[in-house]
Amino acid sequence: MDYINIHTHGASYEPNALVVHNLYPEQYAADIPYKYGTVGMHPWKLLPETMEMEFEILRKAAFDAKIIAIGETGLDKACKTDFELQKKVFETH
Give 19-35 pLDDT, tens digit per residue: 888 888 888 888 777 88
How is residue 48 annotated by DSSP? G
Distance between CA atoms of residues 19 and 12, nearest Å: 8
Q: What's the pLDDT score for residue 78? A: 94
CA-to-CA distance for 2 and 36, rounded, in angstroms?
17
Contact at 8 Å (CB) between 58 and 90? no
**For position 7, what pLDDT does the model report?**
74
Residue numbers of the chain with a pLDDT score lower than 50:
none
Exposed, middle or buried: residue 20 (CB in 10 Å: 0-12, 13-18, 19+)? buried
pTM recorded for the entire structure? 0.75
pLDDT at 12: 64
